[in-house]
A = this chain, B = another copy of it.
């Protein structure tokens, strides 16, 4: 993989070769998240807007030369990415805007954005197990720079997740028969747990928060030598997630939008969005960096608060997170450095939205676009609504809102959302007169 120059610590800037470290900077432990730095000069001969125009691959792997994998690396079969980008003129008009698109990442195989990262995790885990056949050494928390060692035949991949990353890993693993162990908070919506079990994952329902599940997963991975897919820890997850920006730019005809709205929990998605556009700028395929707007739930606003107050996210203590948008509930955002950088370097902003605003955004988005989002996905649209009302976007801005998960992931929240706006079904006996009675009360 000569197209990778090195992995660079976000804190100290120290550089490592990919085979020198497993996940994080040895100098900075779990906070020492690494960025994958590419040699764009080596990449450019292998991919271009012209070559992509002729490429019929409709998944993230159409961008393989830009990803941290070898050209001949096998990838899982599930078709991840290349999700639709819809221009939503009715919603734009309502908000006094001219150009709004929704990127519907609920259309991924397990119905969330996280498939982009989990596909990468499966590939990287298999690389490790292929290269490292000595199955009985294990890395440890004390020496995180040791290479992970996995059994060559049955390496286990693990992750902690509020639910979507777990389901994504479970589905991608199932597609290749890959054993995996998942740690989710016991409060995860039933749909997400059902997905995990159906896919055959070993599921640990942790009686605690996502943050508890995350810490436990790190310990277990180190103890048992499992490949660790955790967001905000494994440097390659950002590299999967960045593909969304490639797709947005390509779907807009290799134009970057002016503004991108994305909901933020751990911060890994917005970090990935940033990385994708940075790659494209470096390659000269787009001519500007969009402003990135991170939307947080008011009850899980670590980053928004830090940004507003100018706090140092390396020292700011965890908060207690609670929001209806379970996917972005994070008391200590693990990818907070990348998220903060994404917003500050792009002249962006953090916005908070209340649970009520998030729930109201579910039917608003669904009815205005045909895109049914889970709370965390709708939160991004709630952020746009707020930004439009507060003048944080210009009427002629080209704006992309990323929906990060399908509404089917959390039906209870959707029911609460429609009840919140007074919508209900009409229970009737099967007689036409009953239909007539109801129609008298309606304006259709």
Which A residues are closer than 8 A to B by beta carbons?
53, 56, 58, 76-79, 82, 84, 86-87, 90, 104, 107, 109-111, 154, 156, 171-177, 179, 181, 186, 190-191, 193-200, 202-208, 212-213, 215-216, 219-220, 223-224, 362-363, 366-370, 372, 406-409, 411, 414-415, 417-418, 423-432, 435-436, 438-439, 442, 444
B216 touches A432 (CB 8 A): yes
Name, among A104, A431, A436, the residue most crowded by chain B CB atoms within 10 Å (CB to CB). A431
Q: What's the Cα separation between A157 and B88 when bound, in Å?
A: 21
Closest chain B residue to A408, Cβ basis: B408
A207-B174 CB under 8 A given contacts A58-B58, A200-B363, A423-B197:
no
Q: Shortest CB–CB separation between residue A396 and chain B, in angstroms? A: 22
Q: Shortest CB–CB separation between residue A173 and chain B, in angstroms? A: 8
Question: 6 smallest A-B Cβ distances: which pairs?
Answer: A175-B370, A408-B408, A203-B425, A200-B367, A212-B430, A197-B418
A444-B179 CB under 8 A given contacts A172-B370, A408-B191, A414-B198:
yes
Q: Shortest CB–CB separation between residue A216 and chain B, in angstroms? A: 5
Q: What's the Cα separation between A11 and B59 when bound, in Å?
A: 45
For the complex with contacts A154-B444, A171-B366, A198-B414, 6 further pairs of A-B residues with Cβ separation under 8 Å are: A53-B56, A58-B58, A77-B370, A194-B418, A197-B415, A204-B425
A205 touches B427 (CB 8 A): yes
B200 touches A435 (CB 8 A): no
Which residues of chain B have C-beta atoms less than 8 A from A438's C-beta?
204
Closest chain B residue to A196, Cβ basis: B425
Q: What's the Cα separation between A444 and B154 when bound, in Å?
A: 8
Name, among A87, A174, A429, A442, the residue most crowded by chain B CB atoms within 10 Å (CB to CB). A174
Which residues of chain B have C-beta atoms less than 8 A from A224's C-beta?
439
Q: Which of B111, B176, B220 contacts A406 (CB 8 A)?
A: B111
A111 touches B417 (CB 8 A): no
Which residues of chain B have C-beta atoms less than 8 A from A444's C-beta?
154, 156, 179, 181, 202
Name, among A107, A156, A176, A213, the residue most crowded by chain B CB atoms within 10 Å (CB to CB). A107
Which residues of chain B have C-beta atoms less than 8 A from A212's C-beta?
430
Q: What's the Cα separation between A362 and B195 when bound, in Å?
A: 10
Closest chain B residue to A211, Cβ basis: B430
Which residues of chain B have C-beta atoms less than 8 A from A215's C-beta?
430
Q: What's the Cα separation between A414 and B156 when bound, in Å?
A: 24
Which residues of chain B have C-beta atoms less than 8 A from A429's C-beta?
206-208
Which residues of chain B have C-beta atoms less than 8 A from A432's C-beta?
216, 219-220, 223
Which residues of chain B have C-beta atoms less than 8 A from A205's C-beta?
425-428
Q: What's the Cα separation between A406 and B407 when bound, in Å?
A: 12
Name, among A53, A78, A196, the residue most crowded by chain B CB atoms within 10 Å (CB to CB). A78
22 pairs across A/B with beta carbons < 8 Å?
A58-B82, A78-B370, A84-B109, A90-B177, A104-B109, A109-B370, A110-B372, A171-B366, A172-B370, A191-B408, A194-B407, A194-B411, A198-B367, A198-B407, A202-B442, A204-B425, A205-B428, A206-B428, A207-B428, A215-B430, A219-B432, A219-B435
